[in-house]
Structure 1
Amino acid sequence: MRVFVAAALIAAFAGVTPVWAADPPAAFTVCKSCHKVDAGANGVGPSLFGVAGAKAGTASAGFKYSPAMTGWGKVWDDAALTAYLADPKGSIPGNKMVFAGMKNPDEIAAVIAYLKTLK
């Protein structure tokens, strides 16, 4: 218990978010209107559980991805996620997501960090 508290205090003073803090960032609020984070729990959009590191169009079984998404053929690494979250239609033309994109790089980074915890 002491180690846990000490690590949390050190992280707080260093301005670092501890790894065990997997609460979604404020920027994720807009994502929640269409996406769920539980495995296999699809909504309007696919579940985002396990999306980081997965091949596009494969992470959520049972979701009907667009041909543009399944045909894109790339893995959701940091660069791909950053480009997609900033400009979904520009990075994968023809995909079904009706979101204009995030403009704040810090918010994009926070969402990506959160997506990586969904395993």
Structure 2
Amino acid sequence: MRLLKSLLTTAILTMPLSALAEGDAEKGEKVFRKCRACHEVGPEAKDKSGPALNGIVGAAAGASPDFGYSKAMKEAAETGLIWDEASLAAFLTKPREFLKGTKMSFPGLRKEADAANVIAYLAQFEAVSEN
């Protein structure tokens, strides 16, 4: 666990600052099309092969109660991983490098700007409350 936390911290701290710049939500919506095969956002979003991503920006890792996360994601959640802009940018650009053992098969976004834009797009969607 200590090693995982150290690796996560290192990955976040070594992210280029340009990756943390504000993105363009409109451009992010277009880039997010690559993600729609596995993820949904919006009022009717449901878990698919990946969890629904409403409220993901600023959320704790592994927060979707009904989703079957990988062992690696569960461990990251236990160590306190929060999906802030820096951790999301690191994960979106190199998921398997950021979180060894993740079930996410997507190889990552090649451009830092695409990651920033997707994060800006996702930030528009608040967590859906279950009433």
The structure 2 residue matched to 1:56, chosen from 28, 51, 61, is 61
CA-to-aligned-CA distance 1:90-112 (integer Å, 9 cap, x gap): 00000100010001111111100
* Largest Rg, 1 or 2: 1
Scaled by the length of structure 1, the TM-score of the pair is 0.76
Counterpart of 1:84 in structure 2 is 91
Q: Tell me what 2:6 maps to.
A: none
* Number of residue-to-residue matches in the alignment: 100
Partner Cα separation in structure 1 for residue 120 and residue 74 of structure 2: 23
Q: Which runs of 5+ in 1 are unaligned?
A: 1-16
RMSD of aligned Cα (Å)? 2.1
- Tell me the percent identity: 39
Aligned to 2:47: 42
Q: Normalized against structure 2, the TM-score is what?
A: 0.69
Check conservation: 1:37, 1:47, Cα contact below 8 A: yes
**Larger relative contact order (Cα-Cα within 8 Å, sequence gap ≥ 6):** 2
Q: Is the 8 A contact 2:28 2:114 kept in 1?
A: no
2:36 is aligned with 1:32: yes
Task: Give the 5 Å matches for 1:100-111.
Answer: 100-111=107-118
1:114 aligns with 2:121: yes
